[in-house]
């Protein structure tokens, strides 16, 4: 157990207070608003970022955190593993990965060589190099400045890159994101498959094709897919790489000197994507994601999804692959070599089955609703006949009794099943929110 003796907190400061019970920032002290308020007061030390105080109180601990983000069946981040001063047993190679020292304080920032788009390198076109140079920070030629952010879902970069990556895709179109037009984004077909690789200091980090596009739904249940890289301004950097990129790497964030709020942190990244396997399984996983979204829409709205006139049909192989990634469980046993997810494989198999079932069969048409309706009518008539038969038998028995007259009907007041003390104990009532269940 780790203990922090003194730490200032802000009560109800989160704009999402209704969604979260609390929010713990894991960034550097230099960017902390709480520290800014307490600076030059007797409580200044309490205002330092929580992890800076932790490392100060536990000087024997290495001052870094590690992150491994998982990917859900619909292709988005779904939890993961966060460690403090520890590295996952099957990911120790990250400690030997290149170290990217940040040129600025508080943020995990580095320089990027460029992005390989289907094998073609795109580089340069920085929007912030001049500002860095004016402050005495040299940016390598044709590089851009990148900040890693675990709290961001998408990737944002210079407009030039967004156009170069998405505009030539068949069916791609610019979409209005904000009325000012400062954010550049493209809608793309939902089966779009891209080969994107980010390069830092000569080390390449491929991203899974499923992370190159994001899937959403309109109110009527139709799909909308957009590129996960959007264009627009990024504070003090060219790029902001969120979980769409970070799901593809195991990350170590070094906090530098915890006693110096202006200490420059560092980042180490270990790729966890096999680009060949990722490319081979992308078609199946993209379809599985569509099926999962459709199922979620149907279950939450109670309505079938509207089918647009341009709906795409699946003609690929039956999906049997799951996302190939490293084990994201912290344990001492050796990591699994396949990293296969049974749940993902199930959804993938269902996707292929639904695709095949969507083709009309020429063997014959079965009126299932009609059969069900006729069955209900037959059962109803049978019930009427049984009731009449019971009445006849009852009348016959009554007529044979030796003494006729009024007899009180004895009614049992006991239940065949004891009544539950609470609703949660009733076998016909259940809730997933019972505490301790």
CB contact burial 65-94 (16+ within 10 A = b; e otherwise):
bbbbbbbebbbbbeeebeebbebbebbeeb
Q: What percent of the chain has pLDDT over 90?
A: 38
Structure-token match 């006949």, residue found: 385
What average pLDDT does this structure show over 105-126?
Answer: 94
Give pLDDT, residue 403.
40
Give pLDDT, residue 437.
37
User: Lowest-confidence range among 14-28, 115-129, 269-283?
Assistant: 14-28
Domain definitions of the chain by residue range: 1-61, 64-272
Q: How confident is the model at residue 136 (pLDDT cuts 50, 70, 90)?
A: very high
Give this prediction's pTM: 0.65
Q: Is pLDDT of 235 > 80?
A: yes
Per-residue pLDDT tens over the stretch 396-434:
544 444 443 333 333 333 333 333 333 333 322 233 333
Task: In whole angstroms, give the CA distance from residue 189 to residue 420.
Answer: 53
Give pLDDT, residue 74.
60
Containing H/E element for 241?
strand 239-241
Q: How confident is the model at residue 52 (pLDDT cuts 50, 70, 90)?
A: confident
- SS3 of residue 249 by DSSP: strand
Structural fold of domain 64-272: Cathepsin D, subunit A; domain 1 (2.40.70)
What average pLDDT does this structure show over 47-69?
Answer: 79
Ranked by mean pLDDT, the top range of 55-59, 137-141, 407-411 is: 137-141
Q: Is pLDDT of 273 > 70?
A: yes
What average pLDDT does this structure show over 39-54?
Answer: 62
């Amino acid at each position: 157990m780790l203990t922090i003796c003194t730490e200032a907190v802000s009560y109800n400061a989160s704009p999402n207070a209704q969604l979260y019970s609390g929010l713990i920032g894991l960034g550097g002290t230099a960017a902390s608003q709480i520290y800014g308020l307490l600076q030059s007061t007797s409580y200044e030390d309490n205002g330092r970022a929580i992890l800076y105080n932790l490392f100060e109180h536990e000087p024997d601990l290495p001052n870094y955190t590690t992150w491994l983000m998982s990917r859900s069946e619909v292709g988005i981040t779904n939890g993961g593993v966060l460690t403090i001063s520890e590295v996952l047993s099957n990911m120790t190679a990250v400690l030997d990965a290149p170290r990217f020292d940040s040129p600025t304080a508080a943020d995990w920032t580095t320089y990027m060589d460029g992005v390989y788009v289907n094998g073609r390198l795109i580089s340069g076109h920085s929007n912030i190099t001049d500002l860095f140079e004016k402050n005495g920070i040299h940016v390598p030629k044709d590089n851009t400045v990148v900040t890693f952010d675990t709290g961001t879902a998408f990737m944002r970069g210079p407009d030039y890159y967004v156009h170069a990556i998405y505009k030539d895709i068949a069916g791609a179109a610019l979409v209005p994101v904000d009325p000012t037009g400062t954010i550049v984004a493209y809608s793309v077909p939902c089966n779009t498959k891209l080969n994107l690789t980010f390069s830092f200091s000569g080390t390449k980090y491929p991203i899974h094709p499923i992370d190159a596009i994001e899937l959403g739904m309109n109110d009527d249940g139709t799909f909308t897919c957009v590129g996960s890289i959007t264009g627009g301004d990024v504070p003090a950097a060219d790029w902001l790489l969120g979980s769409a990129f970070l799901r593809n790497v195991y990350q170590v964030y070094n906090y530098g000197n915890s006693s110096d709020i202006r200490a420059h942190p560092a980042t180490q990244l270990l790729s966890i994507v096999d680009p060949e396997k990722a490319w081979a399984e992308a078609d199946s996983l993209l379809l599985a994601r569509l099926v999962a979204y459709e199922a979620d829409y149907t279950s939450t709205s109670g309505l079938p999804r509207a089918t647009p006139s341009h709906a795409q049909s699946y003609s690929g192989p039956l999906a049997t692959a799951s996302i190939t990634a490293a084990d994201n469980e912290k344990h001492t046993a050796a990591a699994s070599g396949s990293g296969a997810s049974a749940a993902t494989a199930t959804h993938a198999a269902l996707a292929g089955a639904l695709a095949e079932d969507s083709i009309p069969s020429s063997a014959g048409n079965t009126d299932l609703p009609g059969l069900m309706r006729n069955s209900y009518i037959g059962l109803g008539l049978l019930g009427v006949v049984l009731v009449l038969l019971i009445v006849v038998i009852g009348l016959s028995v009554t007529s044979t009794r030796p003494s006729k007259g009024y007899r009180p009907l004895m009614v049992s007041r006991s239940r065949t099943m004891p009544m539950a003390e609470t609703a949660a104990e009733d076998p016909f009532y259940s809730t997933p929110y019972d505490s301790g269940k």
